[in-house]
Every structure is written in C-alpha cells, then in structure tokens.
Structure 1
Amino acid sequence: MPHSIRQRTNPNSPYIRKNGPKWRNQQNRSEAVNPTNAYEYGLSFPTGYTAFKALISARVVSAIWSHISDCDETFNYWEPGHYMLYGRGLQTWEYSPKYALRSYTYLLFQLVPAFLYNAVLRPDKLFIFYFQRCLLAVTCSACEVYFYKSVCREFGIHVGRLTLIFQLFSAGMYVASSAFLPSTFSMYMTMLSIGAWYHRKYELAVFLTALSSFLSWPFAALIGVPIAIDMLFMRKDLMKFTKWCIISLCIILLPMVRIDSLYFGRLTVAPLNIVMYNVFSSHGPDLYGVEPWYYYVLNGFLNFNFIYLSALVTPIALLAVSKLVSVNARNPACLPYSLSILPLYLWLMVFTLQPHKEERFLFPIYPLVCLCGALTVDAMQKLYFRVFVRTGQHYLHHTSHLVFPTVFITSLLGVTRILALYKGYHAPMDTYMELSKMTAEGNLPTLNHFNICVGKEWYRFPSSFFLPDDRWNLMFLKSEFRGQLPKYYAEESGTSIIPDYMNDANKEEPTRYGNVTSCHFLVDLDLSTSSEFEPNYSQQIEKWVLVKSIPFLDNYRSSLPRARHD
C-alpha cells in the first residue's frame, strides 16, 4: 500500500582478557567466571569494550532506520521538544497547565545536548532529530554493557553472553533503544539499577530507581520493589534505604517540581498528577488502547520470538534444575533466583491486569526478558546434560549443539523482524523527508507558507523536525477518528497558558480541523477504500498531483498473528 505525498493541481569475542574483573564462583563449576577458570573450561566471552562496539553498531542502526512506532512519542515528546528548541510545536492536553501530566524537566534533561548543538552549529532540524536519536543509542549501549557485566557477575559468563546476544539481535531492543519515550529512559534505568543491585551497590540502585520513577515514569518504581525487599527484609538495612530515598527525593524531585512549576506557571508535581489520573480518576487511561490479556504474549513474541516464551517459563526451568540436577549450593553472596528475577514477573503481572495495554509499557523490562530467556536456555542445557550425558568434564562441552541453533534461530528471527519493520513501516518518515528535498532543490511554489494536511494519517506524523522551516504548518483534516487531536502551542508563554478546547477525556474537538481547500500538500495512505471523511485522495487526480509514493504495509490485511506497531 503506497504511503504518498500529494500537491494540489557473532558477537562473541575470540579471546578472553586475562586482566579482566574477578568474578565469584556461582552455582557450580559451569558458572565459574574468572578468566583463569574460563580458559580451563573453554569459555570465551566479549569484554566490555567488545560488547560496547557490537551494541553501539546495532543501536545506531536503530537510531537511523527505526520508524516512530507510537504517536505518543511524536506528540508528547518530540513536539514539545521542538517547541522548546524553536518556539513552535504541537501541544497535547497532557501539557495543559490545567492537567500537567507530563514533565518539562524530563525534556530538558534529555535535550541539553540538542540545545548546545543547535546553539553552536545551527544545523538543519533533521540533523537535530537524528543527533538526539544517536545520543540515545550511545546511552543505551553504555547501559547495556553495565547490565551485561552485572549479569556475568551474578549469573555467570555463559548466561551473561547469552543475554548480550539476545539483546543485540532482538527486535524489541531495536525498537525501544532509540525511542524518545519515558519508558525507554526507564529501560535504561532498569539496566543501571538492576546492574547496581547485582553489584551490591545498594545506594546507587535506590537512586537510579528513584530517577526512573520521578523523572520519567512513576510506575517504574515497581522495578525497585525487589531491591527494597532485599534491603529491608533480607539485609534489614532500613537506615540506608530511608537515607537514600530522602537523598533521591531532594536531589531529583524537588528541583523537578521547581522547574515544572516555572514552565506551567503554577505548582506542579507531574509524577503525582500522572498517578492520580491513571489510578484514581473516574476513567483513567482506559478510554482507548484496551486490549485482551494475551496482548503482551503476542507482542512479546513478535519482539523477542522464542526468547520471550522462554522467559515466561524461567521459574519452572530453574525449579526443575534445582530438583533434578545435582549441583553445589549457590554461593551465599548471590541473590536468590526468586528475588533476582522477580522484577520481570512483577511487572508482567501488574500490566497484564490493566485493560489499557501498549507495546511501550513493556520497554522497561526488555533487558530482563533477555536475561530470563538466557537463564532458561542455560537450565535446559543442564537438564539435557543430566538426562542424556550424566558424566563428563563440563555440561557446556556436551550441549553446544543446543546453544548454537538456539542463538542462530532467535537471532535470525529478530533480524528478519527488524528488516520487516523497516520495509513495512518506514514510509511515513521517508515521505516527510521529501519536503526537505523539495525545499533544498527549490521545487516549491513561491508562497509565504505551506499547509501540509493529514487526515487518517495524523498519528504517523513523525514530528515538526521533518518540516523544513517555519513556513510549513501541519493541518488536520476530519477523518473517522473521533478522539482529541493536539493543537499548536501559543507563541508567547505557551507552556503556562491554559489552551482553549482541551479536555482530559479524549473527546473530539472540532476546532482542530481545517478545510481541505486550504491544503497545499496532503499525506495519505492509499488503502483502496473510501468513506465520507476518508476519501481516496489517490483517485482525485483532477485535484492532486502525485509528488512521492512509497510502499507501506497494511497490517490489517496481513496474516495473523499480529500485534499493532503503528
């Protein structure tokens, strides 16, 4: 289906670093992780530097080629960010001072490099967009390396390297790694806070959990529940836990309240507002996006294939190993399995029970999916060794024929999913890029402004960073969608003025719509169907001239199973 614009008339290292960190002996000899033992048992694993090079290669690919899969990313983050940088952008009701569900502090924290880049070099807006994405890619890679090292420390080299491979090639990490979303930032913080916990750096773990909860997404505090259980009930360290909760509140929340209050023009505690709306309001978030309980199963399988299914049964696999395989007692310095992998299942339980489900809600636990998938593969190797081999030097020597096909198949499925996403869904971004090309080549009428219109394709608009300059204005046309669309910020004091015609119930606001006769360009998807408010503009050749057409996947006519990405 064409998406068009129309104008009127092997990541494993081959060596082992001898002077690497010393690791604790874990469950048995198979999980000995210092380099000397690794040589003895024939284990090879990537150093942190090698892992970073592999990861950053994959994440930069995501930054450049990944499409925006959620309109919330465009209208709640890229658009306010564009307003803060250029003084013009679209505003949603969540940023109205009357509701103040979103935080400008989060945007400032993320956009400081973009502000500096723009102030010094004054680049094209598209360069700012991809510069910011590449910074997110670098940040994600660094967090993943820390998480990889912490997994090696807590669960052993073999589980660590499997986790790394699963993260490297999964479509889920590809989508989430460079997204400008609080859930992506919470994913970064999950890797750092859980990594700090696995390193027994409790102060850092508490602070990073608080940073994730206050600055990006309050519900990310769920990730920290097992850390709190460890500190309060296992280590009985109430004093340290309380101290660092207070420190975190003072360092993070108080400045955040001050900054947001300046922007909104009144006292604002954005994390509290979003909790009140989602948990205690009469309708909460269930006005749209309500999905059945199995939505996350289908979506998880699309993003992680068999790794996700393996992660769902990790507790059963570990229980089977503990009952059937004779192993040495686990080192007392290690966390109990039931606690160390609890964040994943706690998150899945809570969010599966919520009627409102979206793919991005699982972003914070994507690294834990890879970890638990690796634990299940490791457990299956031990069970195979116990049942079919029983004797021998080391179980990894006798089960490599299980690991290599698993890694190859899951990686191949992940890469093919990534390629399918690019081929099927990247057309909107390519289409809007044509505007910059037309402007640079001078292929435009001599007008002071241009209205580029969208009807049913409003939610695939990739942001104002794709509009070449201030002469361009996005205009909405009425379509079959009956919800509330965003509107442009007021030019002066836009963040503190309560805009007219906004509501928190997603009720349609007719004032958002323009007239098609005012459109100079129109972006639409040709589905070979039409209705009163969604005519087939491709057939109106007497009114429109085709400028650019790019194929686009119609997922509703594709084979099941599927979970929506667009």
Structure 2
Amino acid sequence: MATPSVRSRAQVASHYHRKNTTHSDQSSLTDHYQAPWTLSGYTAFKALLSARLVAAIWCNISDCDETYNYWEPLHYMMYGSGFQTWEYSPTYSIRSYAYILIHAIPTSLYSQLIQPNRILVFFFLRCVLAFSCALCEVYFYRGVCKQFGSHVGRMTLLFLILSTGMFISSSALLPSSFSMYMTMLAMGGWFLGTFWVSILAVAASAIIGWPFAGVLGIPIAFDLVVRKKRVLYFFKMAGVFGFSILCVSAHIDSTYYGKAVITPLNIILYNVFSGHGPDLYGVEPWSYYLINGLLNFNMVFVLSFLALPLTYMTGYILDIPVSGRIPSWLRLLAMYIWLAIFFLQPHKEERFLFPVYPLVALHGAVALDCIQKLYCHVAMGLMHRKMQVDPQTKTSPYQHYTKSSAWLAIAFSVAFTLLSVSRSLALYKGYHAPLDVYMEMNWLAQDTQVHTLPADKAVHVCVGKEWHRYTSSFFLPNTNWHLQFIQSEFKGQLPKPYGNSSSEVPSQMNDMNLEEPSRYIDVKYCHYLIDLDLPQESALEPRYTQMSNDWKVIASHPFLDAPRSHQLFRSFYIPWVTSHYCQYANYTLLKTTRTKNKKAKQDS
C-alpha cells in the first residue's frame, strides 16, 4: 500500500475525522485542515550541520579499526609514516586505498595551504565529513517529506539530529559511515524520483565503501526492474556507474598494492568463502545489536521494528485509500533486510549498523506517525457526539491528526532527546580521556621544561594494554616521535609500521590474529608511556604510576572504569547522580625518569 503525497495525506488524515459529518459540514471544513509545517531544506541543513560539527569535535574514536585501518593509512599517504595492518598487506589486500585517497585529497590541500599542526588536519577532515554527512541528510530529508509527508519528515529530521547513533557515525572515518552517506543519497533519490542518483549512490557505496551495502539497493532495483519495467534503464545506468567506479577504484588499489587488485571482490571472498571468515574475533550473541540499538536510538529503535506492521494496521483500520508510486512494504524493506542479515552473523560490531542508521530514524518516525493517527481515530470516535460545527464561525472542533495528537509527538520527542543527549554525554565524559591525553602530549612536547630530549632524537611513546585506544599518528608531535608497543595481556596480532612502500609485502603478518612478538620493544627504551591506571595489575600490566623510580606522571584525565560502575549510570549520564554510581581511573601520560636517575647515580 503506497502513501499519498503531502497534500493528499492532509486530506486523507482529515477524512477519518470527518467521515460521519454531513456533506454541508464537510464543505465548510475544507480550509480548516492544513498539512503540518515543514522545515525548509536550508534550515534543516543548518540544524544538521551544527549537530555534525559538534560530533566532529567532541566525539571519541570508538573503534580501533578506524584508527589502524583508515587514519593510519591516510597518515602514511600524507606524511610517509603510519601503521599497516594485515588487511593492507599485498598478500591479502582486503582494504581499499581508493577510499583513503578520497579523504587524502582535501586534507593534503589543507595541509599544503595552511601547514597546520597535524591535530588540526585530523579535526579538519572530521569537519569535512560532518559537512558531507549533513548534505546527504538534508537530501534524504527532502525525499522523506515528499514520499511520507511533512510530519514524518519532521520527526525523521529530529531523530537524525539528536540520536547518539548519528553522533557516533556521522564524522567517523569508516567505510560503513561512507555507506551510510550513500544510503541517504540512494533513498533520497528514490523517494524524489531521481533514479540515477540512487543507482550511482548504491554503486559507490558497494565499491568504494562496503560491498555488502549493495543489498540496500535491492528495493530500488525491484521498483525499477519489476514494478516500473525500466529494465534497460536500470542495467544501463548500473553498468555505466558500476563499471566506471570499479575501474577507477581497481586502478588506484592496483597502483598501491603493486599488483592487479579488485578489493571489493577480495572482501567478499574473505568474509564469505574463506575457511574462517571474519569470526576469529568480535563474535557476539544476537542481543548485541539490540542493546547497541537501544543505546544509540533508545525508543526510536524499538519503534523502527514496528513501522511496517503499524503502517498496514493503520491503513486497514482507517480505510486510507492506496495511492502514490512506491508501496509501503517496498519503501520500508531495506532496513529489515539489513538487520535480518547482520543479526544472524556471528561477527558483530557497532559500525556494521551504520549504513541503516538513517533508516532507523525514518522507520521510527513512520511508526510514531501511525500511532498518532490511531490515537486520533480512537479519540475522535469517542468524542464524536459532542463535536459540532459552530454556526457562527463556521469552524469545527475537529483538527488535523498531528494537532490533536501533538502531545504524543512532543512527549516522545522530549523523552528521546533527553535519553540521546544523556547517552552522548556519557560517552564523552566516560571515554574522551585518550583524545585529551594525546593532545596534551603535543603541548607538553613544546615545553622545554618537560621535554628535554634533543629535537632530532627519536622519541618512543609506548602503549601496552591501551594499544587499541591510540588516536592515530596525527596526534604525535612530529615525525621524530614514534608509537611503540610493549607486551601486555593482549595476545592478538598488532599492526606494524609501513615499510618502504605500500606494495612491499610486510614480514610477520598473518590473517589468523596470531600474536607476533616482533611488534614489542623493551619498556626500558620508552621515553613516554600512556596507560590506564587500574587498581588491578599483573606481571605484564603493572601499575606504572606506582613505579616512581622509573616513571613520573605528567598528565592525567579521568576515564570510566566500566566493570566497577553501575550499568545504567555508566550508559546514561545524569548530572549529580552518575558520579555517585560510577568509578573512574586515571588515563595517564608518564615520562621516564630512568635517564635522570642514571645520570644522578653517575654524578654521585
């Protein structure tokens, strides 16, 4: 069942308020029912951009895959140094340099023109990503308004702006975030009837971003090929766009890998047809995504599952006539396909849901819209006998369903906003310390009272158990500073610095996540050390802050100690309450005192 346009939706919505009213009464009420107001595209863009820039500046890097698989290769492209993971080894080549190059272009231009500190380059790219996301969102919003009506569009916009899910994903340097951008363009183009945009976006999403994101184009392909019979148009556009993008992507990747490579094909072969696939780590139960969705979208995530059944229930109960160009089941299908696929996969990660985050917002808005209609239908039915047209003013107590049920939308929006802001603040306050510490290390490196090593001397910044919270080489003061790994309880494979070129096959690499001892250096060679000072310790993970003869704390920021904190209050920040139920450890930057102590002994 399709949904009418904005104008006809207003007429239909008023229909089930007036169907028992006389014909003469109805003629006098026509002008009383008006479609709800809609934010202009420009106003929506300003609101979206403001939210995305906040995320670009304040959001943490929540996934070490983002650091080592994307920020580090980007740093290598720009400055000739960075860490390489096994996925970028020419032996496996399952990551695309084409995706990295897209981001290297604006950052390199900015770096050449302004010559800023590398931290500013990092945040500049995040702001570029924020701007790009906002553009895609406003295009998606326009499509939603046209296809689903003003009210659904308005609620979708609210959920996009405020949700923690979009706060996390909008400025992340991840192919799944890129696929999320393309999903919004694809769906927006489909809803607006600009099909070539949809086909181009799906092709770019699958080839440059993530091959599996191509399944989100299934409803669009079905609509064009099966329903509209535009078979030639679809295959011509898909062939032209897909082949062009694939050729460019393959050329870039082949250049960097030094051999013929089709990266999207390698990703599919590894994840689907290899003996172990991606299930060596990150295996989680089905409830993982449910909890993740509730944290990132709270009540909207629950409503999103109900969008399709509520749509048909509402249509049946209210006897809303079928019109429009896309059936409801088809335009809401993509999210259900994605969740069905990924809920069943053993390997689960938060970023795997990024491509459908905008659809979660849309589905939640559709479900809320249906609930408002059903409420209005019931309320008007109960009050029908008391409601009559005023003969003097020719006005009626009947209202557009969005007005009579406005309290529902307002109450839901307030609750959603409070939960979303609370969750985003909890993430910032609990986990922002690594960014703070690495930025502070930059400032202290310029203080000759703190950093006393010669300017041309190699400086080793070491991490042990905190290797996965490294913010990237963009946060090292200069090219003389190097991140080093010291041994910890972690027994998986760590990345290693790039060699002479990206086409060089690195040694000691494997695709089984087996530990490579060659990654470690002895802690005695470390000039600085970054560590989370937890109360528990082991032989490989001692409390370095207690080793005052070897280390001195020069910077420290609070970091949430999740195991010792209340599950609810660590998930949602509540002022004056959370601090009583959560425990924090110190995320510390330490400087070695070995050299100083050794010199003092020699002098004595």
Give a deviation string over 1:398-429, Cα, whole Å, max 9, x none.
Answer: 10111111001101110111111110000001
Residue pairs, 1:456-471, within 5 angstroms:
456-471=465-480
Distance 2:255 2:403 in 1: 62
Instruction: Say yes or no: does 1:415 pair with 2:436.
Output: no
Deviation at 1:38, TM superposition (A): 11
Answer yes or no: is the 8 Å Cα contact 2:464–2:531 preserved in 1: yes
Distance of 1:38 and 1:271 partners within structure 2: 55
Asked if 1:357 is matched to 2:348, the reply is yes
Query: Greater relative contact order: 1 or 2 (C-alpha under 8 angstroms, separation 6 or more)?
Result: 1
Q: Judging changes above 3 Å, is the alpha-carbon distance between structure 1 residues 31 and 480 closer, same or farther for their aligned structure 2 residues?
A: farther
Q: Match of 1:9?
A: none
Structure 1 CA distance for aligned equivalents of residues 79 and 434 of structure 2: 23
Match of 1:394 in 2: 400
Answering whether residue 36 of structure 2 is matched by residue 43 of structure 1, we say: yes
| Residue 223 (1) aligns with residue 230 (2) | no
Equivalent residue letter for 1:357: K
Partner of residue 3, structure 1: none
TM-fit CA distance, 1:111: 2.0
Corresponding residue number in structure 2 for 1:486: 495
Distance 1:266 1:480 in 2: 37
Q: 233-242 or 163-172, which moves further after superposition?
A: 233-242
Q: Which residue of 1 aligns with 2:439?
A: 433
Judging changes above 3 Å, is the alpha-carbon distance between structure 1 residues 24 and 239 closer, same or farther for their aligned structure 2 residues?
Answer: farther
Alignment partner for residue 209 of structure 1, among 195, 202, 213? Answer: 202
User: Equivalents in 2 of 1:27, 1:557: separation in Å?
Assistant: 53
Write out per-residue CA displacement over residues 270-296 of structure 1, whole angstroms, 9 at most, x where no aligned residue. Answer: 100011001100000000000001111
Q: 2:313 & 2:373 partners in 1: Cα distance?
A: 10
Shift of 1:435: 1.4
Q: Is this contact kept in 1: 2:88–2:94, CA < 8 A?
A: yes
Measured in 2, the distance between the counterparts of 1:450 and 1:203 equals 52
Q: Which residue of 2 aligns with 1:253?
A: 246
User: Match of 1:552, SS?
Assistant: strand
Q: Distance in 1 between the 2:561 and 2:216 partners?
A: 36
- 2:562 aligned residue (537, 555, 565): 555
Q: 2: CA distance between counterparts of 1:462 and 1:298?
A: 26
Cα separation, 2, equivalents of 1:475 and 1:551: 23
Q: Does 1:452 align with 2:461?
A: yes
Q: Which residue of structure 1 lines up, in the alignment, with residue 483 of structure 2?
A: 474
Alignment correspondent of 1:56: 49
Do 2:225 and 2:231's aligned partners in 1 also have CA atoms closer than 8 Å?
A: yes
Q: Distance in 2 between matches of 1:557 and 1:315?
A: 41
| 8 Å contact kept, 2:14–2:401 | no
Distance 1:299 1:238 in 2: 39
Deviation digits for residues 54-102 of structure 1 (CA, Å, limit 9, x no counterpart)? 1111100000000100000000000000000000000000000111001
Once the two structures are overlaid, the 10-residue window that deviates more, 75-84 or 236-245, is 236-245
Deviation (angstroms), 1:439: 2.1
Deviation (angstroms), 1:42: 6.3
Task: Check whether the contact 1:26–1:331 (CA below 8 A) recurs between aligned residues.
Answer: no
> 2:412 aligned with 1:406, yes or no?
yes
Once the two structures are superposed, residues 457-496 of structure 1 have per-residue CA deviations (whole angstroms, 9 ceiling, x without a partner) of: 0000000000010111101011111110000001x3x200
Q: Deviations for 1:525-552, whole angstroms, at most 9, x for unmatched residues? A: 1120011211111221221101111000
The range that moved more, 281-290 or 242-251, is 242-251
* RMSD of aligned alpha carbons: 1.8
Q: CA deviation at 1:47?
A: 0.6
- 1:226-277 CA-partner distances (Å, limit 9, x unpaired): 1111112111221111101210122200111111111100001110001100
- 1:295–1:563 contact (8 Å) kept in structure 2: no
Deviation at 1:45, TM superposition (A): 2.2
Q: Structure 1 CA distance, aligned partners of 2:244 and 2:74?
A: 24
Q: TM-score, normalised by structure 2?
A: 0.86
Residues 31 and 156, structure 1, Cα contact 8 Å, conserved in 2: no
* Equivalent residue pairs, number: 535
Determine if the alignment matches structure 1 residue 377 to structure 2 residue 372: no
**Structure-to-structure mapping, 1:90-239, within 5 angstroms:** 90-239=83-232
Q: How far did residue 27 of structure 1 move?
A: 7.8
Deviations 1:278-328 (A, max 9, x none): 11000000000000011111000000010101101212211221222232x
Give the C-alpha shift of residue 28 in structure 1.
4.7
Matched-pair contact (CA < 8 Å) for 1:38–1:44: no
- Go from structure 1 to structure 2 and tell me whether the alpha carbon gap of 1:155 and 1:389 turns closer, same or farther (over 3 Å shift): same
Asked if 2 retains the 8 angstrom alpha-carbon contact of 1:27 and 1:331, the reply is no
The alpha-carbon deviation at position 563 of structure 1 amounts to 8.6
Question: Normalising to structure 1: TM-score of the pair?
Answer: 0.92
Task: Provide the residue aligned with 1:495 in structure 2.
Answer: 502
Any stretches of 5+ residues in structure 1 without a counterpart? Answer: 1-21
1:367 corresponds to: 358
Write the distance in 2 (CA, Å) between the matches of 1:125 and 1:38.
60
| Contact 1:226/1:339 (<8 A) preserved | yes
Change (3 A) 1:315 1:91: same
CA contact 1:31–1:157 (8 Å) conserved in 2? no
Per-residue displacement from partner, 1:98-142 (whole Å, max 9, x unpaired)? Answer: 110011111111221101111222111011000000000000011
Question: Which region of structure 1 is more displaced relative to structure 2, 178-187 or 440-449?
Answer: 440-449
Matches within 5 A, 1:519-534: 519-534=526-541
Query: Quick check: 1:24–1:153 contact (8 Å CA) kept in 2?
Result: no
In 1: Cα distance, 2:288 partner to 2:249 partner: 34
Q: Is the contact between residue 90 and residue 257 of structure 2 (CA under 8 Å) also seen in structure 1? A: yes
**Counterparts of 2:410 and 2:89 in 1: how far apart (Å)?**
53
| 1:321 lines up with 2:314 in the alignment | yes
The structure whose Rg is larger is 2
C-alpha separation in 2, matches of 1:39 and 1:445: 77
